[in-house]
């Protein structure tokens, strides 16, 4: 069974631009969560989607948004990029929100210049 895949793996943008990251969960997994990871900050929870609905949200500004499609694939969008948005963005999937283990993708490394 294929693992969680994320595209692209690396991305360079400039301030003010917007970016869309994609995540394909493990087949059969319906819950997808997004995290931002910066050095020294650990994993910061962005949001979780289940059955195309956002179920939980972390403390991030409205510039960060997401969506989930009927096939459980998810996208995350960041508008009006700031230098501080440079980070590793991780996607994780689990079968349902009742499962306690999440399986992580390799991440997308976003650099904002």
Please report, as ranges, the residues that interact with another protein according to CB under 8 A: 4, 35, 40-43, 45, 55-56, 88, 90, 92, 96-102, 104-107, 109
Asked if 98 and 31 touch (Cβ cutoff 8 Å), the reply is no
Smaller CB distance to another protein: residue 5 or 79? 5
CB of 61 to another protein, least distance (A): 20
Asked if 77 and 66 touch (Cβ cutoff 8 Å), the reply is yes
Helix, strand, coil in percent for the chain, rounding step 5: 5, 55, 45
Smaller CB distance to another protein: residue 71 or 96? 96
Smaller CB distance to another protein: residue 66 or 107? 107
Asked if 80 and 16 touch (Cβ cutoff 8 Å), the reply is yes
């Amino acid at each position: 069974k294929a693992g969680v895949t994320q595209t692209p793996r690396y991305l360079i943008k400039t301030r003010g631009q917007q970016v869309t990251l994609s995540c394909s969960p493990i087949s059969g997994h319906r819950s997808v969560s997004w995290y931002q990871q910066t050095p020294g900050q650990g994993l910061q929870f962005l949001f979780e989607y289940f059955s195309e609905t956002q179920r939980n949200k972390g403390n991030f500004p409205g510039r960060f948004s997401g969506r989930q499609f009927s096939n459980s694939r998810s996208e995350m969008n960041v508008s009006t990029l700031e230098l501080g948005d440079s980070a590793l963005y991780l996607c994780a999937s689990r079968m349902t929100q009742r499962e306690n283990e999440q399986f992580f993708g390799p991440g997308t490394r976003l650099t904002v210049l």
